[in-house]
Structure 1
Amino acid sequence: MTSKNNGLSAALVSNLQDVLSKRKGGSDASPSEEAPSTSVAAKEEIDEDSRPIVLVTNGDGIDSPGLLSLVEALVSEGLYNVHVCAPQTDKSVSSHSMTPGETIAASSVIIKGATAFEVSGTPVDCISLGLSGALFAWSKPILVSIFLIIIEMLWYYLVISAYFLQVISGINQGSSCGNQMFYSGAVAGAKEALVSGVPSLSISLNWKKGESKESEFKEAVGVCLPLINATIRDIEKGVFPKDCSLNIEIPTSPSSNKGFKVTKQSMWRQSHSWQAVSANRHPGAGNFMSNQQSLGAQLAQLGRDASAAGAARRFTTQKKSIVEIESVGVAPKTESRVKKYFRLEFVAKNEEHTDEDLDIKALEDGFVSVTPLSLRPKMDSETQAAVSEWISKALNADQ
């Protein structure tokens, strides 16, 4: 295939030509014309596998049983080209945070049948990196500023349409219903995909401490796999709902579920319990925050002396973070500094839910809750009018 490059970089033209040739069956492709790419993955030969690509991430970390059970099932289906880009440690309550300005290590890991990387960042970092073109050969080509919008549209048509790409974030250990979604790293990973125009699902299991068993993750996969298959099939057909992500909540004892139910996001969230922690019991607490803040610099330094995998695994953090709060008081003659240490834990709370359409109600009743999530700003007209009236009065009162 020949084409004028119109000022575009050789790497970008090569990527687009490669995708176009695959859509036509490769009849026009010329191996000798391949141009070099600055992408790490593009230096290797692009996989000729034309199966739909499924990119998997999660919030609990790459070694979590929920992710491993999901990936194993997707690979066993034999229908998908499965890629994994997930946090190396637990980031289940990282929300939509990213890690700008710090060095992120992406280390290859062995997951049978999949191409997998663990990343020293958040789920949002993982999806952003995975779709950037810097890690995987099939992902977004290099963008040239003046042609940004055009190339974005071409990328969506050529890559999304050619490979029927989908992102799945999960399976998370613990519910992400209601306002708990604001804290969920798993939901944030799926929403980051939606920001990039990629259809996505986030999946969580309503884990009950002391009651749920690890085997329930495999049951949960079996429950949601038909919906995953239908999603990818309809993406290929172009009939999957646009501009939305689906948050799937699977009840405790998944195999006993009462079926699927489309729901609305509730206001439910777990209670926040702050517990005072003795510094004597946790001698390393005083250095915890400073260690966290310099994590990127430490990883960069270690990278010069050890492999990325070794560097990534040295800085595994605990699931329950110790938060340092420092207060300064000034006495008449002397200055004193007081340090206190606290640990945050989420505690389930029992509430009565009556609205049958809410996600938490469906989940508690034993249904698989499916909640459509959108990036579109939503504000009811009554609230909009109330805010408008209040601003008008507030500004006039100051005059």
Structure 2
Amino acid sequence: MQSPRKPRILITNDDGVNSANMHALARALAPCGEVFVFAPQTEQSGVSHAFTLRRPLCIEECHSAGDYRVFSVDGTPADCVKFALGHYAAFGLEQTEGAGPGKFDVCFSGVNIGENSGVSALYSGTVAGAREAALWGVPGIALSLHGGDVLLQESIDFAVRVVREGMFRNIPAGVFWNVNFPKAHVDGFKGVRPACMACGMFTDHYTNEGRLWQLDGEKLWDRQPDYTDDYLLHQGYATVTPHRIDQTDEESLKKINEMLAGNG
């Protein structure tokens, strides 16, 4: 009896192709499946879901140690995933029995330096990598660290568990996971919790020198509801927040329909 095919794993990030965190993730996942890295040539933090349209992309293979392959893309995280799933999966992957045409099974984005919980997810290039995968029908999981690399191994262990236990197969179509690990020492880490997305905004402010204005600010962590990712992250938990591609607000849609029907 033929053994099941190992999953094909796509990895991207927004910290750049030379990120030590990303390569640590790729090495850990290599025994679990076929690993391919498509990552930005340079840091792309805060670019959200921007992608490159009006110039060509330069894409070069820059690492092939036998355990995983790495491609550098002079674009954004969304560019990396879009190319990997839209082109490379169809024309670059060797087809194996049971793989299907151009199939990646799961996409990880990270492990990012800095949290991407709450509204940070809207600005994050890391989260956009997972979102782009979901747009292509591939389960996407963004991984971020709030406190340096103290819990890097815990975040990598979580990713390995997701693959080995096949948890990614339970992510519905059109949904992706935003996973954040807290600013805590290992002995203060309280485990992983599901959480809703916090919607508290930053305390943004600008300082200036002449015509130059610099943005700064922080989050009011404790002012968020206790079931949200920002709050739980600040309490020492890692959080898993499922996001949807479809951002339609159903209640508002009903009200708009009623208003338009009344003017008909």
User: What TM-score, normalized to structure 2?
Assistant: 0.84
Return the offset for 1:138: 2.0
1:261·1:368 contact (CA, 8 Å) conserved in 2?
A: yes
Return the alpha-carbon distance in structure 1 between the equivalents of residues 241 and 22 of structure 2.
Answer: 21
Question: Which residue does 1:131 correspond to in 2?
Answer: 85
Is 1:182 the counterpart of 2:113? The answer is no
- What secondary structure does 1:342 align onto? strand
Q: Contact conserved, 2:221 with 2:230, CA < 8 A, in 1? A: no
Using the alignment, how far apart are the partners of 2:32 and 2:163 within structure 1? 12
TM-superposition CA deviations, 1:170-229 (whole Å, max 9, x none) = 11111111111110001111111111111111111113xxxx4x4542343234432343
CA deviation after TM superposition for structure 1 residue 356, in Å? 2.5
* 1:341 corresponds to 2:212: yes
Q: For the residues of structure 2 that align with 1:223 and 1:354, how far apart are their CA atoms? A: 25
Give the 3 Å change call, closer, same or farther, for CA 220–351 of structure 1 in structure 2: closer
In structure 2, the partner of 1:81 is 34
* Pair 1:241-2:195 in alignment: no
CA-to-partner distance for each residue in 1:32-67, whole Å, 9 max, x for gaps? xxxxxxxxxxxxxxxxx9531111001111222321
Confirm or deny that 1:107 pairs with 2:51: no
Distance in 2, matches of 1:87 and 1:277, equals 31
The alpha carbon displacement at 1:391 in A equals: 6.6
The answer to whether the 8 Å contact 2:58/2:74 transfers is yes
Partner of 1:173: 113
What's 2:76 paired with? 122
Q: Show the 5 A alignment for 1:1-399.
A: 50-75=5-30, 78-110=31-63, 112=65, 113-134=67-88, 137-138=92-93, 158-159=100-101, 165-207=105-147, 212=148, 214-230=149-165, 233-234=166-167, 239-253=170-184, 255=186, 256-277=188-209, 340-345=211-216, 347-353=217-223, 355-381=225-251, 383-387=252-256
Structure 1: gaps spanning 5 or more residues: 1-23, 26-48, 141-156, 279-339
214-223 vs 355-364, which deviates more? 214-223
Alignment partners' CA distance in 1, 2:219 and 2:258:
37
Write the distance in 2 (CA, Å) between the matches of 1:73 and 1:361: 30
SS of structure 1 residue aligned to 2:86: coil
Report how far residue 86 of structure 1 moved.
0.5
Deviations 1:127-165 (A, max 9, x none): 00111224762289xxxxxxxxxxxxxxxx8247xx662
Mapped to 2, the partners of 1:392 and 1:254 lie a distance apart of 57
**Structure 1 residues 164 and 98: alpha-carbon distance in aligned structure 2, compared to 1, 3 A threshold:** closer
TM-score of the superposition, structure 1-length normalised? 0.57
Q: Which has the higher strand share?
A: 2
Partners of 2:14 and 2:28 in 1: CA distance: 19
The question of whether the paired residues in 1 share the 8 Å contact of 2:14 and 2:44 is answered with yes
Give the counterpart letter for 1:352 in structure 2.
Answer: D
Deviations 1:230-284 (A, max 9, x none): 3xx255xx55433311111111236332122111111034343433245xxxxxx
Letter matched to residue 72 of structure 1: R
* C-alpha distance in 2 between matches for 1:65 and 1:133: 26
Closer/same/farther in 2, CA of residues 133 and 386 from structure 1, 3 Å limit = closer
Structure 2 counterpart of 1:320: none
Between Structure 1 and Structure 2, whose CA radius of gyration is higher?
1
Q: What one-letter code is carried by the residue in structure 1 that aligns with 2:40? A: P
Q: What's the C-alpha RMSD, in Å, of the aligned pairs?
A: 3.0
- Change over 3 Å in CA distance of 1:354–1:50 after alignment to 2: closer
Identity of aligned residues (%): 25
Amino acid at match of 1:248: V
* Structure 2 unaligned blocks of 5 or more: none
How far apart, CA to CA, are the structure 2 residues paired with 1:139 and 1:184?
A: 32
Shift of residue 79, structure 1, vs aligned partner:
2.0
Q: Distance in 2 between matches of 1:341 and 1:391?
A: 46
Cα distance per residue 1:366-392 (max 9 Å; x no partner) = 1111111111233142x3455456678
Mark the CA change 1:259 to 1:134 in structure 2 (over 3 Å): closer, same or farther: closer
- Alpha-carbon distance in 2 for matches of 1:139, 1:267: 43
Distance (whole Å) between structure 2 residues aligned to residue 275 and residue 139 of structure 1: 53
For residues 26 and 76 of structure 2, what CA distance do their matches in structure 1 show?
19
What's the secondary structure of 1:126's corresponding residue?
helix
